[in-house]
Structure 1
Amino acid sequence: MEERTRAYLRGRFRDYYRRTAVSPPPDANLREWGFIPWTSGSGTTMVRHRSLLDIGAVDDFLARKRPRHVYFSAGRYDDPGAGKMQQKGWRSSDLVFDLDADHLPGVSPEEDSYEDMLATCKEALFRLLDFLESDFAFEDMTIVFSGGRGYHVHVRDEGIRRLDRDDRREIVDYVRGIDVEFENLVEHEAVGGTAGRSSPAHKRSLITDGGWSGRVHRRLVDLVDELLALPEDDAIDRLQEFERIGEGKSTAALTAARNNYDEIVAGNIDVHPAFYQVARLLTEDVIETESAPIDEPVTTDTNRLIRLPGSLHGGSGLVVSRIERDALDTFRPLDDAIPDPFVGQEIRIDVPDLDALPGTGTDRGEIRLGGDSFTITEGAQTVPEFVGVYLMARGHAEKEKE
């Protein structure tokens, strides 16, 4: 990034912060603060181990320093400004989850557009929230668009604040489906002895109302509904999509599903050995597709620094945006996170290499921001300021010489 571009962005970030009130997190005075300034050169310098006492009022600090990135700690401390972690005196920490679009299974930053990557990340966010709300019953949660590659969720329920790294890793493993085994989801119930035997028989069932078992059961009932709606040959073909399920087992499993529908809805998967095997195989798919691929080190780190909602992301020029839970469905990051001060005017930029724009659109040079599409060409051109800021912050353009 040339100094001319850096100076322009630094100045526009200052203008944004002068016009925008940014709310600090709860217990802001107990948290460590850090930021990355607009330094010259290709590297970045993190300034950290600052307390609120050191930086002063957050709004004044942002307008004065106009940082490229700004962070606060998940942890609360006796002395947040101490220069070494062991001197800070840890009190508690938020439970923070991070979803990065370019780290998700099936996402290719070289081939997928930025918009598509963020859409995939939002789907993963909904899966994560289902775990946090349904399985853990967390209530004090803040959802944030990171301004860059994905989403953060801050959990501040009193019951989780003192959890150590190992406890947090157990939560991580649960939502990622690590070590979730089919056998551990199945309940065994004695149902009485059989003729000529004194030992009872067992019925194997899935819990229907929650957890991983409830997720498997829900998908299993959906599969049965799908099978019963298909012609028999198509239903048998559908079952043969499962590994090691041939025509014979498919026919048996389909017959069992037809004859025991109410039992299956109630959780019973012991209606036939072939059906039981289908349930086992379906579980593998449920774990793969319904887990939440969060960034494990972020959640387990009790001292983690995380982006400040309301601040600007120095790698995109977009707002790190807090999202109300009931507004998440309609939230559009590439429209709703555009900073208001960057709308309504145009600037001149220079794009040195069009081929260096990764993941910006279906066609090379096409980007979508602010509810519109823009075709970017090599060389000097005029664009809306928010488009220019976005391209310059990502390192794809320079401010044109005046």
Structure 2
Amino acid sequence: MDERTREYLRGRFGDHYRRSSITPPPAANEREWGFIPWTEGPGETMVRHRSLLDLGNVEDFLARKKPRHIYFSAGRYDDPSASTMSDKGWRNSDLVFDLDADHLPSVVLGEDTYGEMLAKCKDALMRLLDFLDDDFGFEDTTVVFSGGRGYHVHVRDERIRGLEREARREIVDYVRGIGLEFDELVEVETVAGTAGRSSPAEKRTLPTDGGWGARAHRHILSQFDEWLAMDEADAIEALQRYDRIGEGKATAALNAARTNYEGLEAGNIDVHSAVYQIAQVLAQEVVAADNAPIDEPVTTDTNRLIRLPGSLHGGSGLEVQRLDRDELADFDPLSDAIPETFRGHEIAVEVTEGGLVELDTADHGGDSFTVEAGNQTVPEHVGVFLMARGRARKAQE
């Protein structure tokens, strides 16, 4: 990034901060703070091991220093400004989750556009929140758009803040479905023998009221609903695509599901051995479809630095936004995260990497458009985005 571009962005970030209201995280004075200034050269230099006492008022600091990025720690310490982690005196940490579109299995880098990547990341966010709300029952959660490629979720329930790395790793494994075994989801009940059998039998069911068992049950029931609605010959053919399911087992599974549908709906996957075998296979699909592909090191790291909501992301010029739950469905980061400071103006830039721009712009009806390489006059928020991402330089007006 050349000097003119860097100084322009630094100045406009400062303009944004002078007109913004920033709410620090709880216990802000117990946290480590760090920031990345607009330094010369291609690299970035992190300044960390700062306390709120060092920074002063956060809003004043941002308006004065105009940093490219600013972070605070998930951890709370006795001495947050100590120069080594061992000297800080760790007390406890928020539980932080990071969803990064670049790391999602469903994202195809080089094919998916930025907007498509963010949409897939939002889908993953909703699955993560389902785990945090329904499976764990966390109450103090904060959802944040990262300003870049995804979302952060901060959990500050007092009962989990003292968890150390290994305990946090177990939470990671759960939401990602790592090591999930089908037999561990199944509830086994001993029941009286049926006619002609004097010995007790075992009834195997999947729970329908929550957790991975309920997720597996929903998927299994949905798949059988689809097969039962098909022409039988087509359904039998579809079932035979599964390993070790021949025509006989496929036919038996369909007949058992049809005649014992209420039992299957109630979670009884033992209505026939073929149904149980197919259920085992279908359960493996659930992990791939319903897991939350979080960035594991972020959650397990009790000392992690995370972006400050209300700040600007130096790689996009978009705002790191704290989001209310009722806003999530309609939230569009490519429009809603554009700072008001950068709206309503046009600037001259030299585009060095042309191509698609998906930011909302009134000049293009809110639709994506293509910018050509060379000198261009564009809406300021588009220019800031392109410059922050290294796709343009500031041109002389």
Q: Which moved more, 1:367-376 or 1:306-315?
A: 367-376
Instruction: For residue 303 of structure 1, give the secondary structure of its aligned residue in structure 2.
Output: coil
Letter in 1 for 2:276: Y
2: distance between equivalents of 1:223 and 1:239?
10
| TM-score, normalising length: structure 1 | 0.95
How many angstroms does 1:235 deviate by?
Answer: 2.2
How many angstroms does 1:225 deviate by?
Answer: 2.0
Q: Which residue of 2 aligns with 1:84?
A: 84
How many angstroms does 1:397 deviate by?
Answer: 0.5
Q: Which residue of 2 aligns with 1:63?
A: 63
Q: Which residue of 1 aligns with 2:217?
A: 217
Partner of residue 375 from structure 2, selected from 351, 356, 380: 380
CA deviation string 1:169-212 (max 9, x = no partner) = 00000000000011111111111246676642111111111111
Instruction: For residue 276 of structure 2, give the secondary structure of its aligned residue in structure 1.
Output: helix
- Answer yes or no: is 1:107 the counterpart of 2:107: yes
Answer yes or no: is the 8 Å Cα contact 2:124–2:293 preserved in 1. Answer: yes
- Answer yes or no: is 1:366 the counterpart of 2:356: yes
- Answer yes or no: is 1:275 the counterpart of 2:275: yes
2: distance between equivalents of 1:353 and 1:345?
22
Letter in 1 for 2:390: G
CA deviation string 1:83-129 (max 9, x = no partner) = 11111111110000000001100312211100000000011111101
In structure 2, do the counterparts of structure 1 residues 177 and 226 end up closer, same or farther at CA, with 3 Å as the change threshold? same
Q: Which residue of 1 aligns with 2:132?
A: 132
1: distance between equivalents of 2:27 and 2:66?
23
| TM-score, normalising length: structure 2 | 0.96
How many angstroms does 1:226 deviate by?
Answer: 1.8
2: distance between equivalents of 1:83 and 1:217?
51
Letter in 1 for 2:81: G
Q: Which residue of 2 aligns with 1:142?
A: 142
CA deviation string 1:50-79 (max 9, x = no partner) = 111110001000000100000000011111
Q: Which residue of 1 aligns with 2:253?
A: 253
How many angstroms does 1:326 deviate by?
Answer: 1.3
Answer yes or no: is the 8 Å Cα contact 2:221–2:264 preserved in 1. Answer: yes
Q: Which residue of 1 aligns with 2:363?
A: none
Instruction: For residue 292 of structure 2, give the secondary structure of its aligned residue in structure 1.
Output: coil
Instruction: For residue 158 of structure 1, give the secondary structure of its aligned residue in structure 2.
Output: coil
1: distance between equivalents of 2:175 and 2:148?
23
Identical aligned pairs, as a percentage?
68
Q: Which residue of 2 aligns with 1:362?
A: none
Letter in 1 for 2:191: V
Instruction: For residue 329 of structure 2, give the secondary structure of its aligned residue in structure 1.
Output: coil
Letter in 2 for 1:99: L
Q: Which moved more, 1:17-26 or 1:246-255?
A: 246-255
Letter in 2 for 1:243: D
Letter in 1 for 2:381: F
1: distance between equivalents of 2:337 and 2:353?
26
- Answer yes or no: is 1:231 the counterpart of 2:231: yes
Q: Which residue of 2 aligns with 1:333?
A: 333
Partner of residue 391 from structure 2, selected from 386, 392, 396: 396
1: distance between equivalents of 2:307 and 2:243?
44
Q: Which residue of 2 aligns with 1:201?
A: 201
Instruction: For residue 148 of structure 1, give the secondary structure of its aligned residue in structure 2.
Output: coil
Q: Which residue of 1 aligns with 2:179?
A: 179
CA deviation string 1:325-380 (max 9, x = no partner) = 111000000000001010000011111243xxxxxxxxxx1211123323200110
Instruction: For residue 192 of structure 2, give the secondary structure of its aligned residue in structure 1.
Output: strand
Q: Which residue of 2 aligns with 1:244?
A: 244
Letter in 2 for 1:102: D
Q: Which moved more, 1:186-195 or 1:61-70?
A: 186-195
How many angstroms does 1:217 deviate by?
Answer: 0.7
In structure 2, do the counterparts of structure 1 residues 159 and 222 end up closer, same or farther at CA, with 3 Å as the change threshold? same
Q: Which runs of 5+ in 1 are unaligned?
A: 355-364
1: distance between equivalents of 2:62 and 2:265?
56
Instruction: For residue 245 of structure 1, give the secondary structure of its aligned residue in structure 2.
Output: coil
Q: Which moved more, 1:76-85 or 1:9-18?
A: 76-85
Answer yes or no: is the 8 Å Cα contact 2:189–2:204 preserved in 1. Answer: yes
Instruction: For residue 330 of structure 2, give the secondary structure of its aligned residue in structure 1.
Output: coil
1: distance between equivalents of 2:144 and 2:76?
20
Letter in 1 for 2:40: S
Q: Which moved more, 1:193-202 or 1:26-35?
A: 193-202
1: distance between equivalents of 2:232 and 2:336?
48
1: distance between equivalents of 2:118 and 2:257?
39
2: distance between equivalents of 1:335 and 1:231?
46
How many angstroms does 1:162 deviate by?
Answer: 0.3
2: distance between equivalents of 1:95 and 1:207?
28
Instruction: For residue 329 of structure 1, give the secondary structure of its aligned residue in structure 2.
Output: helix
Instruction: For residue 350 of structure 2, give the secondary structure of its aligned residue in structure 1.
Output: strand
Q: Please provide the CA RMSD for this pair.
A: 1.3
Q: Which residue of 2 aligns with 1:321?
A: 321
Q: Which runs of 5+ in 2 are unaligned?
A: 361-365
1: distance between equivalents of 2:69 and 2:109?
22
Instruction: For residue 358 of structure 2, give the secondary structure of its aligned residue in structure 1.
Output: strand
- Answer yes or no: is 1:42 the counterpart of 2:37: no
